[in-house]
Amino acid sequence: MDRFKQIETFVQVAEAGSLAAAALKEGVSPVILGRRIDALEKRLGIKLMYRSTRRLALSEEGGAFLERCKQLLGDWEMAENEISAGRHAVSGHLIVSAPAAFGRKHVAPHAPAFLRLHPEVQISFNLTDRVVDIVREGYDMGIRIGGSVDPNFVAVKLAQNRRVVCGTPAYFARHGRPKTLEDLARHNCLAFNLQGGQQRGWYFKRQGKLVTTRVAGNLDCNDGELLHRWALEGLGLGWRSTWEIQRELLSGELETVLDEYALPDYDILAVYPQQRFQPARVRLFIEQLRQIYARPNYWIENA
């Protein structure tokens, strides 16, 4: 006998409250349903329910097994929905949050190409350096750069990235180069100040452990592009992602220091709430970004 049908029958009978009610819904006799449950109990070697044609009671093991079976059937239904949805045009409203500078340069510019492939989709962007609450604020997905990810979210790595300390050759000529993390206390550090931000400290890896170093300076702001510009003007040290300073590193306009302490796993991520059914528009947009970022020289050509 089909194992799946046995499980399906067990759930139907348990939810209906009796063999008779479940049989009436399926259009078969209660005897047939009883035989399926008998076979299931015999195979498992456990009594799942005490039953008659009019009433039943789940055993303790039956109650626990019922929850697992309902989850199994739900996952099966979602799998069928996903494969079925793939046969139809992608549609719906895709709402995306992304960091301001990164979103302007590397997320929103790729939307037109996505819409040409999927004209039934509408995309809305919120570009902000504030960490938004994706669920509460109604986003389908968010782009994050480094940091921890809530366990209730799925994180997909889009591209590799590091966080490094950088400055101009002119700045280093005037103030010297920090050799240790403690040396940062003697330098003008350009910090991000939104909701406490980097004024709480810059993060590094030392001897395999994450450490925080307090920094200070005479300039701070809540805009990453402005911090980038100030670093290029030689006004202080920046703590920047490699994605945004690739061109300047190649040209020599910026140089990195304290590389042995650089935060290595500060990757670019797409995050979305854990759920059994992921809309195709979310999955396909994430995959498009991942493929674009993987192109040779993408980060240099689009700096």
Residue pair 289/157 in contact (Cβ under 8 Å)? The answer is no
Flag whether pLDDT at 128 surpasses 80: yes
Q: Are strands 189-192 and 220-221 parallel, antiparallel or unpaired?
A: parallel
Does residue 120 or residue 136 have the better pLDDT?
120
Flag whether pLDDT at 293 surpasses 50: yes
Cα 237 to Cα 157: distance, rounded to the nearest angstrom: 28
Query: Predicted confidence band at 270 (pLDDT cuts at 50, 70, 90)?
Result: very high
User: Which residues share a beta bridge with 239?
Assistant: 165
Q: Which CATH number fits domain 89-142+273-302: 1.10.10.10, 1.10.150.130, 2.60.40.10, 3.40.190.10?
A: 3.40.190.10
Could you give the residue range(s) of every CATH 3.40.190.10 domain in the chain?
A: 89-142+273-302, 163-261
pLDDT digit string, tens, across residues 19-57: 888 888 788 888 888 889 899 899 999 999 987 656 788
pLDDT digit string, tens, across residues 64-91: 898 888 888 877 776 666 665 555 568 8
Q: What is the pLDDT of residue 256?
A: 97
For residue 2, which of 31, 25, 35 has the smallest C-alpha distance?
A: 35
Q: Are strands 189-192 and 237-241 parallel, antiparallel or unpaired?
A: parallel
Q: In the structure encoding, which two tokens stand for residue 183, read together?
A: 């040396």
For residue 155, which of 267, 295, 293, 285 has the smallest C-alpha distance?
A: 267
Amino acid letter for position 70: K
Average pLDDT of span 181-198: 81
Q: Does domain 163-261 have CATH number 3.40.190.10?
A: yes
Q: What is the pLDDT of residue 121?
A: 95
Amino acid letter for position 204: F
CATH number for region 3-84: 1.10.10.10
Q: What is the pLDDT of residue 16?
A: 83
pLDDT digit string, tens, across residues 226-246: 999 999 999 999 999 999 898
Q: What is the pLDDT of residue 222?
A: 83
Query: Predicted confidence band at 196 (pLDDT cuts at 50, 70, 90)?
Result: very low
Q: What is the pLDDT of residue 19?
A: 84
Q: What is the pLDDT of residue 200?
A: 65
Could you give the residue range(s) of every CATH 1.10.10.10 domain in the chain?
A: 3-84
Query: Among 52-56, 240-244, 253-257, 289-293, which is the least confidently predicted range?
Result: 52-56
CB count in 10 Å sphere of residue 173? 10
